[in-house]
Each structure stands twice: as C-alpha cells, then as structure tokens.
Amino acid sequence: MPGYLNFNVFGIVDLLAGLMLLMTSSFLPDIIAHGHSYFLMFKGISSIFTPINTVVLGTPYLLLCGFADLLSSAILLTGQPPILAEYKTILAFIIGLKGIFSLISFA
C-alpha cells in the first residue's frame, strides 16, 4: 500500500478538530454539530489518503470545506471542549486562518 498515504499537518488538524467538536457543547443543535464534526473527520481522512482525491470531489466540496473551517473555529472558540481545552484558541486560530485562506483562493 505504498503511495496511498499523504501525511500533512492540515489533515491531522482536521481530524483533531472533528474529534474535539464531537465532544464539545456548542450553540448549534446536536444533529448539526455532529454532522459537522463527521464532515471534518471525512475531510481530514480525504486529505491524508490520496485515493480520495479532492479533484474528483470538485470545487463545491472545496468551498464547503472553507466554510466548514470557519464554522469550526467559531464553535471551538465559543464552546468548551473536554480535551485540549487550554489549546482551543490556538487550534481555532489555525483552523480559522485555513478557512479564510481557502476561501480567498477562490476569489
């Protein structure tokens, strides 16, 4: 299975943020928050495994990923995650910048 794994930092951050958001109490209803966290985990897995290519998923997927990053940073800043709570502002800042730059790249 060589060549199928692409370990990048942003994929690992998306997986970590998805796990944090799954356990965070937030202002969103639970069904939306859980769907959002599962989407973040899929986004992290799709950036780590190269057979799930973002070119195949297309531009709407990439735009949705940018908006998902911005929503994730807002949920992390306002919520209380049970794990890594002291690093939530740093992770929210990284995820927010990633979302802003991915949306600016489409302008």
pLDDT tens digit at each of 107 positions of the chain: 556 777 788 888 888 888 888 888 888 888 988 999 999 998 888 888 776 665 667 778 888 889 999 998 988 888 888 888 888 888 889 999 999 998 998 76
Distance CA 4, CA 95 (A): 25
Per-residue pLDDT at 97: 93
Contact of 24 with 83, CB cutoff 8 Å: no
Q: Where are the alpha helices (DSSP H) in 1-58?
A: 9-22, 30-48, 54-57
Strand partners for 37: none
Measured in whole angstroms, the distance separating CA 51 from the mean position of its chain's CA atoms is 19
pTM to 2 decimal places: 0.81
Per-residue pLDDT at 96: 92
Distance CA 39, CA 63 (A): 13
Per-residue pLDDT at 100: 94
Per-residue pLDDT at 7: 79
Per-residue pLDDT at 70: 92
Q: Reduce the DSSP state of residue 52 to 3 states and report it.
A: coil
